[in-house]
């Protein structure tokens, strides 16, 4: 790893709540600004089952570090974008989050900052859908974190008991019984609407992953943005989307300039990072790797 990473900046960034139009939905987001005149605009697309509060320390740091306007938000029917309906009645799918909600967030950022360069940081699900977004052509850099096509047999063999339980036993049984996937019982941080679970299961038990729904459950992707730089980050201790799966992501962005960095928690003196851990405040020592020229 490079020894020339910038230090972790002081947390001086404030934020303002913003409303994001995503089709017929209004999502709640937070826009972090460390100065009145940012040099860069960044949107953070979350992973499945992860709310924007988790990314707040990172967003504050990134805003101060790069003098950036950083937008976080919650997908429909999650977090601050959740209405009053009981979870059993929620109908959101992963493709709703990836296509409509991510598109709405990117549109909001591009409309507010029409003259700034734009980056997208996509965590897991957040890195898969840029080609469906209206303003994809505005994005100069896509930084993906633990994002790539998953298949239940692509996980390390040591994790297969958990994987098989989730997709073929516990996950379907819990979702069928309760009408949603309970977050605590399933190992997720948040409850998942039933349609989201069933679509996720279809993708991860098919060799075609989400391509099986292209042109069917949702439309076909648009062209790859010209001049896009794709920086992919995987983690040596991530069994959910291991480095081998991350290495397959460029099939969805053919022809782009690509860089793949596999990070180990030991590189930063940490015990673990895994699939979700990078953005935790306790792991802030690893954040500069995302913007270090040697890796990001």
Can you name the residues that pair with 123 across neighbouring β-strands? 145
Please list the helix, strand and coil fractions of the chain in percent, rounded to the nearest 5, in that order: 40, 20, 40
Give the whole-angstrom CA distance, residue 275 versus residue 245. 12
Give the whole-angstrom CA distance, residue 209 versus residue 233. 20
pTM of the model: 0.93
- In tens, the pLDDT along 33-57 reads 999 999 999 999 999 999 999 999 9
High-pLDDT (> 70) share of the chain, %: 93
- Secondary structure of 32-92 in HEC code, one letter for each residue: EECCCCCCEEEEEECCCCCCHHHHHHHHHHHHHHHCEEEEEECCCCCHHHCCCCCHHHCCC
Give the whole-angstrom CA distance, residue 135 versus residue 85. 31
Helices and strands (DSSP H and E) totals, the chain: 8, 10
Can you name the residues that pair with 105 across neighbouring β-strands? none
The DSSP code for 27 is E
**pLDDT digit of tens for each residue in the chain (296 aa)?**
333 334 444 444 489 999 999 999 999 999 999 999 999 999 999 999 999 999 999 999 999 999 999 999 999 999 999 988 899 999 999 999 999 999 999 999 999 999 999 999 999 999 999 999 999 999 999 999 999 999 999 999 999 999 999 999 999 999 999 999 998 777 677 899 999 999 999 999 999 999 999 999 899 999 999 999 999 999 999 999 999 999 999 999 999 999 999 999 999 999 999 999 999 999 999 999 999 866 66
């Amino acid at each position: 790893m490079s020894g020339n990473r910038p230090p972790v900046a002081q947390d001086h960034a404030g934020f303002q709540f913003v409303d994001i139009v995503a089709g017929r939905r209004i999502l709640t987001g937070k826009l972090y600004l460390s100065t009145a005149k940012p040099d860069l605009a960044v949107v953070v697309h979350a992973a499945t089952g992860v709310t924007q509060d988790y990314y707040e320390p990172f967003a504050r740091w990134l805003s101060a570090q790069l003098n950036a306007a950083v937008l976080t938000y919650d997908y429909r029917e999650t977090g601050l974008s959740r209405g009053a309906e009981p979870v059993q009645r929620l109908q959101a799918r992963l493709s709703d989050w990836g296509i409509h909600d991510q598109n709405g967030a990117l549109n909001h950022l591009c409309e507010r900052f029409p003259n700034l360069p734009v980056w997208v940081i996509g965590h897991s699900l957040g890195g898969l859908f840029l080609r469906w977004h209206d303003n994809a052509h505005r994005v100069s850099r896509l930084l993906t974190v633990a994002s790539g096509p998953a298949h239940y047999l692509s996980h390390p063999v040591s994790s297969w008991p958990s994987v098989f339980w989730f997709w073929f036993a516990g996950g379907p049984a819990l979702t069928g019984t309760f009408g949603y996937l309970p977050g605590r019982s399933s190992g997720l941080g948040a409850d998942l609407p039933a349609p989201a679970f069933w679509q996720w299961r279809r993708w991860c038990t098919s060799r075609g992953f989400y391509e099986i729904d292209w042109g069917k459950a949702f439309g076909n992707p648009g062209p790859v943005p010209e001049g896009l730089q794709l920086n992919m980050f995987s983690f040596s201790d991530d069994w959910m989307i291991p480095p081998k799966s991350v290495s397959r992501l460029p099939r969805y962005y053919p022809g782009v300039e690509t860089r793949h960095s596999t990070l180990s928690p030991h590189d930063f003196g940490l015990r673990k990072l895994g699939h979700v851990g990078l953005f935790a405040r306790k792991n802030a020592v690893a954040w500069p790797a995302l913007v270090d020229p040697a890796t990001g």
